[in-house]
Amino acid sequence: MRDRGLILTGLLVFLAGITFPIWYDLAGGKTSRAPDLKRSAQEKVCVAPLSYMRTSHMALLVDWRDQVVRRNVRSFRSFDGKTYTMSLTGTCLKCHDSKADFCDRCHNYAGVRTPYCWDCHVDPKLIQGRTP
């Protein structure tokens, strides 16, 4: 093991290299914890259990879209038997009242581009600043 020094130094440099993002985050004072989203004050439960919404809200939204637009079915029976109107701005945004604080924070954190929902659907926050 003549090259012990060289190998160890190389290994150290390699380890420092691949763990760099962690050090960088720590040094920058940023934590790598997922954003803590504000829960709604009015409602305690969502239209589906939290775990489902976390992993599959996109599937639910696409299903809602198809039901309303293509099949003219507008009410949704949730897992606990409650009935909701299937509407992104009318139902989802009633509780999650800010797209920036709710959708965008998680999507930014996960590095997932916010889908084109908002190119057409209106975020009510957008209107507040506009003159009629």
Partner 1 sequence: MSLTRTGFVRLLAAPLAALAGRLRAALTARRWAMVIDARKCLKDQGCVKCIEACHRAHNVPDFSESGRQVKWIWKEPFERAFPSQESAYTPEALQGKPVLVFCNHCDNPPCVRVCPTQATWKREDGLVMMDWHRCIGCRYCVAACPYGSRSFNWLDPRPHIRRLNPDFPTRTKGVVEKCTFCDERLAKGQMPACVESCPEKALVFGDLEAPGSAVRELIRSRYTIRRKPELGTKPEIFYIV
Q: Which residues in this chain contact partner 1 in the complex, by CB under 8 A?
A: 65, 69-70, 72, 74, 89-90, 116, 119-124, 126-127, 130, 132
- 38 contacts 105 by C-beta, under 8 angstroms: no
DSSP letter for each residue of 74-125: -EEE-TTS-EEE--IIIIIHHHS--TIIIIIHHHHHHT----THHHHS--HH
Provide, rounded to whole angstroms, the least separation between the CB of residue 45 and partner 1. 22
Provide, rounded to whole angstroms, the least separation between the CB of residue 14 and partner 1. 47
Please identify, using beta-carbon distances, which residue of 35 and 68 lies nearer to partner 1. Answer: 68
Please identify, using beta-carbon distances, which residue of 12 and 122 lies nearer to partner 1. Answer: 122
Please identify, using beta-carbon distances, which residue of 37 and 122 lies nearer to partner 1. Answer: 122
Provide, rounded to whole angstroms, the least separation between the CB of residue 129 and partner 1. 11
CA distances from 29 to 15, 16, 25, 52, 106 (A): 21, 19, 6, 32, 19
Provide, rounded to whole angstroms, the least separation between the CB of residue 78 and partner 1. 16
Closest CA to 85 of 95, 96, 76, 94: 76
| Amino acid found at 109 | Y
Please identify, using beta-carbon distances, which residue of 10 and 124 lies nearer to partner 1. Answer: 124
